[in-house]
Amino acid sequence: MWVVKESDVDSVCKNYIGGQWVEASSGETFESINPANTSEVIGLFQRSRTEDVVRAIDAAHAAFPGWSRTPAPARAEILLRVGLLMEDRKEEMACLETREMGKVLDEGRGDVQEGIDMAKYIAGEGRRLFGETVPSELRDKWAMMVRQPIGVVGLITPWNFPVAIPSWKLFPALLCGNTVVFKPAEDTPACATRLVELFEEAGLPPGVLNLVTGYGPEAGAPIVEDERVRMISFTGSSVVGREIASRAGRALKKVMLELGGKNAMIVMPDADLALALEGALWGAFGTTGQRCTATSRIIVHRDVAERFTDELIERARDLKVGPGLEPDTDIGPLINQQQLETVDKYTEIGRQEGASLRLGGKILRGGAYDRGFFYSPTIFDNVVYRMRIAQEEIFGPTVAILPVSSYEEAVTVANSTEYGLSSSIYTQDVNTAFRAMRDLEAGITYVNAPTIGAEIQLPFGGVKATGNGHREAGTSAIKEFTEIKSIYVDYSGKLQRAQIDVEQHGA
């Protein structure tokens, strides 16, 4: 239907509802722009509202009986074809992602590869979808648990991983037999549209996957409110996540939330400092710090804090900020003007709190920087764990260094925030490593690696305010997107009463 071309401002992209590409009922559109060059319009997209969402839910609801009764291996075959198409179009999709979201091209490739990996992994689950068989306490009685689809699910995704995160949700949701209404972030609708095109090309039946683009209050809220949507899966800010949980909870819907993080990397005195420095640079400044797993706090033992901090500053000083398509760029732009202002606001907060600004802390201006949302790599030293810059998610290229005097203090500081997504420790002491695996309050813990780099075959998610206890990826994804049904088959030919008859018939 649509191919993105450089400076193609005439591309008007449509919603995908019931197997058709259609305009929003209002006739209104909005622009998606390149955050590295705001004069470049990626395309025009439908500004959907309640009427459009209702049409999408109608289509998903109508398609559910046929799709849910399609054998899981057959569903998996279609999803595998999507993954193979993604593999074939990887470079094209990565370039589009860099232009629309801003991350450097290598990271764009990694984002698409994560979607490919998820497609292949989930396709294999189509021949498993494990349940359980267990012995009954009564004679001539069969007992088992099976997994069944939930129904229509609403998927609301963020802009920072515009292919990977939708893939985490779409592939398992569809494999399990659900039908989907998909609302991507308004900052990255082109990536979502391209992904949905591949599902269409792979032969997904009409109505099984429906795309509506637009803004959260106009296109996201109606998905949450409609009683026919049985589950909501949302990745984004904690503020919005709490609102979704509140609204969906009144309707007793299943809600899966993946929210914020304030992730800590601990550096112990015996750490391989060269390795820890590489991890800190990648964890703090990869994706311009716009990851929920970004290394936003580095907790360093005082014995090595000065050396570590000085070397980190020198290395970060050499990072090149620029458009993600330029081959020598290390850090791309922030996603939009609002995020640029938010990151800059936190720099001022850090100064006022008394932290030492050792590097950066400014909006980059002049030349090509004036066309985009560029911010300098920022390092604060002598940060106290109670400071806002050590407690609140900044979502930018800002890292706080907190010196500590012991392992115990390091863990206390690491666990001091309301979040609990990802954590990391650098040490060559196996005993310390295992203590950290036990003690850190997080859904993910890395040893001798930064806080980013999750793989799709293990569960992804966190504790405390990072979410509501659910997990994406791995076999957990299958559990999240299914309902459990327990089944008993009594072939004894007589009434048997569980628990009451157990003594009588057990011998």
Known catalytic residues are 258, 292
Amino acid letter at 460? F
DSSP string, 274-309: HHHHHHHHHHHHGGGG-STT-EEEEEEEHHHHHHHH
- For the residues of 310-366, what is the DSSP string, one character each? HHHHHHHHTPPBS-TTSTT-SB---SSHHHHHHHHHHHHHHHHHT-EEEE--SB--S
Residues 500, 10: Cα–Cα separation, whole Å: 73
Is 448 strand, coil or helix?
coil
Contact between 480 and 463 under an 8 Å Cβ cutoff? The reply is no
User: 436: which 2 tokens?
Assistant: 């950290």
Q: State how far the Cα of 73 lies from the Cα of 18, in Å rounded to an integer.
A: 23
Provide the edge-to-edge strand list for the sheet that holds 141-149: 132-135, 141-149, 482-490
User: Which three-class secondary structure state does DSSP give residue 252?
Assistant: coil
> Which single residue is written with the structure tokens 């580095």?
298
Residue among 339, 311, 71, 90 at smallest CA distance from 191: 90
Closest CA to 126 of 193, 79, 184: 79
Distance CA 406, CA 131 (A): 46
- Distances in Å between the Cα of 421 and the Cα atoms of 111, 454, 459 are 19, 11, 12
- Report the distance separating Cα 172 and Cα 481, nearest Å: 7
Beta bridge pairs of residue 147: 484
Dihedral angle, C-alpha 136, 139, 141, 145, nearest 10 ° = 10
Q: What is the three-class DSSP state of 14?
A: coil
Helix (H) / strand (E) containing 242: helix 238-250
Terminal Cα distance for the chain, rounded: 68
In a 10 Å sphere around its CB, with 0-12 CB exposed, 13-18 middle and 19+ buried, how is residue 453 labelled?
Answer: middle
Residue 426 parent element (H or E): strand 422-426
Token duo for residue 139: 């004679």
SS3 for 199?
A: helix
Alpha carbon distances (Å) from 50 to 21, 32, 90, 213, 231 = 17, 21, 34, 12, 18
